Amino acid sequence: MRAAGQSFSVSPFPTARLSLTPSAARNCADVRMSEIVFPHHANHLGTLFGGQALAWMDKAAFIAATRHARRTVVTARSEEINFSAPVPVGSLVEVIARVVQTGRTSMQVEVELHCEDLLSGETSLATRGHFSMVALDENGRPTEVPKLPA
């Protein structure tokens, strides 16, 4: 226990620092998000609740589409959602999203949710789906989006 008036010092971080600038991520085609599955994310079986998986996938799709269009974006549709493996509480989840096709005002975003056991390092594809996102103008009406690079 410290006596009143006593101070202590904390060693500073080493001078060599990582470059953690987000600029590279902003220009990247993929969006990657990581989450830990906690008990409040789980269903009665102790695995990731499907609604929570969809929420994380929709968020990643939103970010990918917004970065592509640089507009306000909304989800118009989710389809072909395949839950192929359960995700136990305590797992690390990585959600990966990429714009794979563009229309005049819409974008198709493919999203995968991968599961990692943090103790063993084993990974598996748990869920895959497609999201249709629509870009909106200042009046809330659909607006054109850029084409994907060739």
- The CA-atom distances, in angstroms, between 22 and each of 19, 26, 50, 93 are 9, 6, 30, 21
Mean pLDDT to the nearest integer, 56-81: 97
Answer yes or no: is 142 within a domain. Answer: no
Is the pLDDT assigned to residue 78 strictly greater than 70? yes
- Structure confidence at residue 28 as a pLDDT band (50, 70, 90): low
Can you give the pTM of this predicted structure? Answer: 0.83
Rounded to the nearest integer, the mean pLDDT of the chain is 89
Mean pLDDT to the nearest integer, 11-35: 64
How many domains does the chain contain in total?
1
Residue 57: domain span = 25-136
Mean pLDDT to the nearest integer, 35-39: 98
Answer yes or no: is 65 within a domain. Answer: yes
Give me the pLDDT at residue 68, please. 97
Is the pLDDT assigned to residue 15 strictly greater than 70? no
75 - beta bridge partners? 133
Give me the pLDDT at residue 150, please. 81
Give me the pLDDT at residue 32, please. 97
Is the pLDDT assigned to residue 76 strictly greater than 80? yes
Mean pLDDT to the nearest integer, 42-46: 98
Answer yes or no: is 145 within a domain. Answer: no
Selection from 103, 100, 98, 128 nearest residue 113 by Cα: 128
Mean pLDDT to the nearest integer, 114-128: 97
Answer yes or no: is 40 within a domain. Answer: yes
Is the pLDDT assigned to residue 50 strictly greater than 80? yes
Give me the pLDDT at residue 13, please. 54
Which domain CATH number covers 85?
A: 3.10.129.10
